Amino acid sequence: MKISTIVDLLDAKVLCGEDHLDSEVHSACGSDMMSDVLAFVKDQAVLLTGLVNLQVVRTAEMMDMRCIVFVRGKNPPAEVIEAAEEAGIAVLATEERMYPACGKLYATGLVGGSVLK
């Protein structure tokens, strides 16, 4: 699924990474706990979260994620957006709550990824 499709499905605002909207993502992970995200298998993924700090970007960068979607109307501070821009990660913001946002993406074909064991 292209990141631009995620923008449309979630009626999201692009905060940075407009040049990455044609990038493909193959799976998604929704969590506010970055330790859970670190258990996620790297696979060109999108991260949905309500946590708005630099740790989100650092975690997404470590996991080679292509896109972060901030849910529940959360708007990250400027340093978070700047760090994502430097890392080449698209950042979106949506008013959707986490569960419906994940459900919309799943129903449209974006699968959940595997978890490391």
The reply to whether 36 falls in a domain is yes
For 32-48, the pLDDT digits (tens) are 999 888 887 666 789 99
Q: How far apart (Å, rounded) are the C-alpha atoms in residues 11 and 112?
A: 21
Confidence tier at 111 by pLDDT (50, 70, 90): confident
Structural domain range at position 63: 3-110
The reply to whether 52 falls in a domain is yes
For 23-34, the pLDDT digits (tens) are 999 889 899 999
Q: What is the CATH number of the domain that holds 97?
A: 3.40.1390.20
The reply to whether 53 falls in a domain is yes
The reply to whether 117 falls in a domain is no
Residue 117 pLDDT more than 60? no
The reply to whether 116 falls in a domain is no
The reply to whether 115 falls in a domain is no
What's the whole-number average pLDDT of the chain?
92
Please tell me the total count of domains within the chain. Answer: 1
Closest CA to 31 of 4, 60, 10, 9: 60
The reply to whether 61 falls in a domain is yes
How remote is the C-alpha of 56 from its chain's centroid?
Answer: 9
| Mean pLDDT along residues 92-117 | 86
Burial label, 47 (beta-carbon count in 10 A; 0-12, 13-18, 19+): buried
The reply to whether 7 falls in a domain is yes
Hey, which bits of 24-77 come out as E strands? Answer: 27-30, 45-49, 67-70
Apex 108 CA angle, 99 and 32, nearest 5: 30
